[in-house]
Amino acid sequence: MKQNHRYLPMTENDRWEMLETVGASDVSELFSDLPESVRSRSKLNIREALSEEALVEYFQSLAAKNEAVKDYPSFLGAGVYDHHIPSTVDAVLSRSEFYTAYTPYQPEVSQGELQAIFEFQSMIATLTGMEMANSSMYDGHTALAEGALMAATQKRMKKQTILISETVHPEARDVVQTFVNGPKLSLNTIPSNAGKTDVKALKDMLNEDVAGVLVQYPNFYGTIEDLKALREAADAVGALLIVKSNPLALGVLTPPGEFGADIVVGDTQPFGIMGQYGGPHCGYFATKKTFMRKVPGRLVGETVDEEGQRGYVMTLQAREQHIRRDKATSNICSNQALNALASSVAMSAFGKRGIKDMALQNVQKAHYAKTSLQDAGFRLVYDGPHFNEFVVDVGASATDANQSLFAEGMIGGLDLGRFNGEQDHHMLVCVTELRTKAEIDRFVEALNVAK
Amino acid sequence: MKKKDQALIFELSREGRRGASLPENDVPEVDVEDLWPDDYVRTKEPELPEVSELQLVRHYTALSKRNFGVDSGFYPLGSCTMKYNPKINEVIARMPGLAHLHPYQPESQVQGALQLMHELQESLAAITGMKEVTLQSAAGAHGEWSGLMIIRSFHESNGDYNRTKVIVPDSAHGTNPASASVAGFDPVTVKTDERGLVDMDHLREVTGEDTAALMLTNPNTLGLFEEDIVEMAEIVHSAGGKLYYDGANSNAILGKATAGDMGFDVIHLNLHKTFTGPHGGGGPGSGPVGVKAELVPFLPRPLLVKEDGQYKWDYDRPSSIGRIKPFYGNYGINVRAYAYIRSMGPEGLHQVSEDAVLNANYLRKRLERYYDIPYPQYCKHEFVLSAKRQKKLGVRALDIAKRLLDYGIHPPTIYFPLNVEECMMIEPTETEAKETLDEFADAMITIAKEAEEDPNLVLEAPYETVISRLDETKAARKPVLTYQEQ
């Protein structure tokens, strides 16, 4: 007898009973509305089913063909970071009431989700120094792109130009370009000088058509941008200042909100989210209350029930696609709720002081790596203040250097030749709290040998 | 459940507590004040909570108990496909060799991950009848927008700049017109006729030289198969437009028909729906996009290819719409989807659709005497009913939904699609047993009787939840979006 698939509960007997109720002679009758010409004649051309044991073996064989970053000291960052993830994060995420739930359409049975999102919104707002935050975005790069679109909408589409700094992550710049192609906005690149946005060049580019100025803080090269100067420049033409920021850096770095940023976005991957080959991570989007009705994505608000008890609901939904349809502020339907939860758990676990300590450790370990490399005779490509990343000239092809490092059991930094052929000797090095002094010393030594 | 105010994590906070440890700092300490200019150093600390590890765990466990997931009970949310999320998917997605990968590792270090993604692409291409699939899009709506950008680039590559309109049925998911608009198109609505299908005369009327695409899900949002699909494709194609398939409802036709055979040129799939990625409270999802051969050049960059037995990322794609997402899409969700596909195989997926469709028709039949069923024909994996009859008694779809909560059931989707009065859209999925369907039908029938005999009982529901109906007007009029210390 054919085994029932473990995910499918219906027995043959159930099926016959149900067909009888329905009034159909067999299941194929339920598909009689499919025109003959579109009906599939053959079996799906996919691989045969595996039992649970065979399934695990198969995926283990795939896993064995990968080199996991956890098996090597890694100096890769550039948007995805190797940080300590407290064990409590996965314990909470594994509560099936969280991971098997959907968008909280029925607040009475979704208070857990709604409250968790409300707490996430609160944490992001305080970290970025902004008045409010949404329930999450796909990731930091698309959040930046949504910020650009919002800036243009904000100005009622009268302003059609977006400026983006050359020091923003190259992939983020590409994503923004694709997004602004929708409403046909112009995107122009602000040149950089010594690894920082060239403020003077920006001033020359500004005009009344500029809706938003997009920068990253710390930027792609790890350098900390001068937000005060950028804010003043943008103000001259009434453009919004949109800042993409690593939230961990904000544990020690003055938050963009204090410099008067209009929109602050980024990715919360540093808080409790595994690398996972680049996704899913979790974008955040924070802004001023004046822009509340233009914000993309979901918002959760506090209210009371009929007995006056505090509770939470999705709110201001008139902005969203299921009510406004083509007039919606964005087409984003859901959010990254589960990963937002992961980040909330991590942020709560570290707490106010822990995040500051963690950020400080990142600064100190990166600083130690930087000075060790300088002492070994390497040239730093950019000399401004850094958080946990910086660019070093490895004196040879960075691709080759990384191969030598891997042979020594280490994963080196990002070969910048990947994005710019002229920078093929440059390596973006990331040092988090997880790198030990011994690992950093070995890294410097191995690079020196490779030179 | 006991009604009790649930503290916010901020309210549990006490100065000096900590719920996680950091490694020892083994490098020489330097003051950040000495490294950075003064105005870079944060002076006002963020108001993050300070709690111990057990307090943290208890807090989130308490929140989880105030949440309803598929593992908690029946969740027949229409158009959302809330099927069981297999446990083994979670085990596989957490295998260190699959999870702890950095997107900038050289391709030679991640051949296993690339092979997995490539095999998933091939499987999805076979399931949808498309030439090529990209896994880049992060969610269904992101896939819709990507697909429409592909169609736009295709038209523009032919010098066809006047195709500015995207036709969308009035019953469509709200994301469809929103995605069309964000992609720079003007959405045009096509009416639904008395059969619950696209009004063919109206379609002919709105289709023309300015048509970029028709966006459709099939089965549609009423759970009905668009029988005229071949003719619709003919109308749109002969006008020079493309057909976009919203894959949200593909659970109904796995192995039965492909979007490709129906004449669609582009499709997105919701892997968190049909292919069991967990919904996670609304995400993360994954919305791969498949296209026919002539649209392949326009797929987002980079595209995963296999050359001489090695997998690699191809960035050299001059006609591409560009990058739509950092790195390589929501890989972690794609791993789960592939685990599911491999656990089902061709016969399993076939069975999925048959059982999903049988379950929906069974429920429709069991409820038809008690509620109005606007479209009486065979439905696919979901169907709509109307609470018109109950509305005359003063009981609305919303009230029925709230009363269902007392029976331990998550309510169906309500007030969608917009073109059905007092709409409830029910999608049981194939993973629910007949007993569960009967319990749901019994509860719905009981509520229909309650509405007749004691409408107030229904109007004041729910009674058994941790909170009663919430004041949504207050939330919107005076928004409180962040924690305010009292």
SS3 for chain B, per residue?
Answer: CCCCCCCCHHHHCCCCCCCCCCCCCCCCCCCHHHHCCHHHECCCCCCCCCCCHHHHHHHHHHHHHCECCCCCCCCCECCCCCCCCCHHHHHHHCCHHHHCCCCCCCHHHEHHHHHHHHHHHHHHHHHHCCCEEECCCCCHHHHHHHHHHHHHHHHHHCCCCCCCEEEEECCCCCHHHHHHHHCCCEEEEECECCCCCECHHHHHHHCCCCEEEEEECCCCCCCCCCCCHHHHHHHHHHCCCEEEEEHHHHHHCCCCECHHHHCCCEEECCCCCCCCCCCCCCCCCCCCEEECHHHHHHCCCCEEEEECCEEEEECCCCCCCCCCCCCCCCHHHHHHHHHHHHHHHHHHHHHHHHHHHHHHHHHHHHHCCCCECCCCCCCCCCEEEECHHHHCCCCCHHHHHHHHHHCCCCCCEECCCCCCCCEEEECCCCCCCHHHHHHHHHHHHHHHHHHHHCHHHHHCCCCCCCCCCECHHHHHHCCCCCCCCC
A403 and A290 in one domain?
no
Last residue of one domain, picked from the residues A302, A321, A346: A346
Pick from A34, A133, A278: which is nearest to B257 by CB?
A: A34
- DSSP category for residue A308: S
Nearest CA among B268, B280, B282 for reference residue B336: B280
Contact of B50 with B450, CB cutoff 8 Å:
no
For B305, phi then psi, to 5°, come to: -130, 160
Whether A96 and B73 have beta carbons less than 8 Å apart is answered as: no
Residue A109 counted as domain residue: yes
The partner residues of A313 in beta bridges, in order of sequence, read: A301
User: Range with the lowest mean pLDDT among A116-125, A367-376, B167-176?
Assistant: B167-176
**Is B465's CB within 8 Å of A255's CB?**
no
Is the Cβ–Cβ distance between A329 and A294 less than 8 Å?
Answer: yes
A110: tokens are: 């979704």
Select from A299, A339, A308, A346 the least CA-distant residue to A114: A299
> Can you tell me the distance from the alpha carbon of B215 to that of B267, in angstroms, rounded to the nearest whole number?
10
Identify the domain containing residue A184 by its residue range. Answer: 88-346
- The predicted-structure confidence for A215-266, as pLDDT tens digits, reads as follows 999 999 999 999 999 999 999 999 999 999 999 999 999 999 999 999 999 9
- Domain match, A358 and A341 both: no
DSSP single-letter state for residue A336: -
Residues A95 and A148 in one domain: yes
Quote the CA–CA distance of A238 and B125 in Å, as a whole number. Answer: 48
Domain membership of residue A54 (yes or no) is no
**A161-165 and A186-190 as β-strands: parallel, antiparallel, unpaired?**
parallel
Cβ of A301 within 8 Å of Cβ of B180? The answer is no
DSSP assigned state of A427: E
Co-location of A172 and A234 in the same domain? yes
Cis, bond preceding A107 (omega within 30 deg of 0): no
- Shared domain for A300 and A278, answered yes or no, is yes
| Residues B376-396: tens digit of each pLDDT | 999 999 999 999 999 999 999
Q: Do A305 and B470 touch (CB under 8 A)?
A: yes
Q: To probe the interface with A, which of B100, B150, B438, B486 has the most A CB atoms within 10 Å? A: B100
Contact A440 B98 (CB under 8 A): no
> Do the bridges between strand B211-216 and strand B165-169 make them parallel or antiparallel, or are there none, so unpaired?
parallel
The answer on A356 and A334 residing in a single domain is no
Chain B residues close to A365, C-beta within 8 Å: 25, 27
What burial class does residue A148 get, using C-beta atoms within 10 Å of its C-beta: 0-12 exposed, 13-18 middle, 19+ buried? Answer: buried
Give the pTM: 0.98
* Three-state DSSP state, A284: strand
Same domain, A360 and A339: no
Question: At A93, which CATH number?
Answer: 3.40.640.10
The pLDDT tens digits of the residues spanning A378-437 come to 999 998 899 999 999 999 999 999 999 999 999 999 999 999 999 999 999 999 999 999
* Residues 6 or more apart in contact with residue B327 via CB below 8 angstroms: A79, A80, A171, A277, A278, A279, B103
Handedness of CA B6, B10, B16, B19 (dihedral sign): positive
Of A346, A376, A397, the last residue of a domain is: A346
In this prediction, residue A156 carries a pLDDT of: 64
Interface test with A, best of B13, B116, B323 (most A CBs within 10 A): B323
**Terminus-to-terminus CA distance in chain B, angstroms?**
27
Pair of tokens at residue A22: 């329905």
The answer to whether residue A110 sits within a structural domain is yes
Looking at the structure, tell me whether residues A299 and A324 fall in a common domain: yes
Domains detected in chain B: 3-66 (no CATH), 87-343 (3.40.640.10), 351-477 (3.90.1150.10)
**What is residue A300's predicted lDDT score, i.e. its pLDDT?**
97
Quote the pLDDT of residue B485. Answer: 83
**Is residue A15 in some structural domain?**
no
Is there a cis peptide before residue B219, judged by omega within 30 degrees of 0? Answer: yes
User: What is the C-alpha to C-alpha distance for residues A67 and B100, in angstroms, rounded to an integer?
Assistant: 9
d(CA A439, CA A429): 13
Please, which residues bridge with residue A379 across strands?
Answer: A393
Residue A297: name the closest of A162, A447, A124 by CA: A124
Q: Which helix (H) or strand (E) holds A419?
A: none
Asked if the structure places residue A207 within a domain, the reply is yes
Cβ(B347)–Cβ(A49) below 8 Å: yes
Q: At what angle do helices B331-367 and A12-22 cross, to 10 degrees?
A: 50
Q: Could you identify the residue written with the tokens 């944060």?
A: B42
Length of chain A: 451
Chain A positions in Cβ-Cβ contact with residue B144 (cut-off 8 Å): 331
Cβ separation B365–A23 shorter than 8 A: yes
Which residues 369-408 in chain A show a CB within 8 A of chain B? 385, 402, 406
Q: Quick one: A238 and A364 in the same domain? A: no
CATH of the domain at A403: 3.90.1150.10
Which of these, A392, A402, A105, A437, lies nearest to B410 by C-alpha position? A105
β-strands B132-134, B303-307 pairing: unpaired
Judged on CB neighbours under 10 Å (0-12, 13-18, 19+), B192 is buried
Count CB-CB contacts under 10 A for residue B438.
13
- Whether B200 has its CB under 8 Å from any CB of chain A: the answer is no
Residue of B nearest to A414 (CA): B104
Residue B358: which of A30, A136, A338 has the nearest Cβ? Answer: A30
What does the mean pLDDT of chain B come to? 96
- The SS3 assignment for A291 reads helix
pLDDT band at residue B1, thresholds of 50, 70 and 90?
very low
**Residues A316, A210 share a domain:** yes
Q: Is the pLDDT of residue B2 over 60?
A: no
Does ipTM top 0.95?
yes
**Least CB–CB distance from B280: residue in A301, A311, A338:** A338
Q: Is A174 within a domain?
A: yes
And the tokens for B282?
């609304």
Residues A244 and A180 placed together within one structural domain of the fold? yes
Q: Are residues A330 and A379 in the same domain?
A: no
Residue A313 has pLDDT above 60, yes or no: yes
- Whether residue B416 and residue A322 make contact (CB cut-off 8 A), yes or no, is yes
For A12, which residue in chain B has the nearest alpha carbon?
B355
Check if A293 contacts B (Cβ < 8 Å): no
The number of domains in chain A is 2
- List the single residue in B with minimal CA-CA distance to A97: B69
CB contacts, 8 Å: B138 with chain A: 138-139, 142, 279-280
A263 forms bridges with which residues in the sheet? Answer: A242, A287
As a whole number of angstroms, the distance between CA A245 and CA A252 comes to 13
Q: What is the pLDDT of residues A267-311, one digit of tens each?
A: 999 999 999 999 999 999 999 999 999 999 999 999 999 999 999
pLDDT digits (tens, 9 = 90+) for B81-135: 999 999 999 999 999 999 999 999 999 999 999 999 999 999 999 999 999 999 9
**B contact residues 273-292, partner A, Cβ 8 Å cutoff:** 278-286
Q: Give the residue from A346, A369, A402 where a domain finishes.
A: A346
Residue A45 lies in a domain: no
- Summarised one tens digit per residue, pLDDT across range A117-162 is 999 999 999 999 999 999 999 999 999 999 999 999 876 668 999 9
Contact yes or no for A301/A293 (Cβ under 8 A): no
pLDDT tens digit sequence for A35-62: 999 999 999 999 999 999 999 999 999 9
- Strand pairing of B289-291 and B132-134? antiparallel
Name which of B301, B311, B259 is nearest B130 in CA terms: B259
Residue A161 counted as domain residue: yes
Instruction: Return d(Cα B459, Cα A327) in angstroms, integer.
Output: 33
Question: Using CA atoms, how far apart are residues B301 and B153, in angstroms rounded to an integer?
Answer: 14
Q: How far is B438 from chain A (nearest CA, A)?
A: 11
Provide the 10 A C-beta neighbour count for residue B442: 12
The dihedral through the CA atoms of A145, A146, A152, A155 has a sign that is: negative
Runs of H (alpha helix) within A74-169: 87-93, 96-99, 111-128, 140-154
Is the model's pLDDT at A2 over the cut of 80? no
Q: What is the pLDDT of residue B3?
A: 59
CA distance linking residue A389 with residue A428, whole number of Å = 7
Nearest CA in chain B to A440: B27
Q: Which amino acid does the sequence have at B415?
A: Y
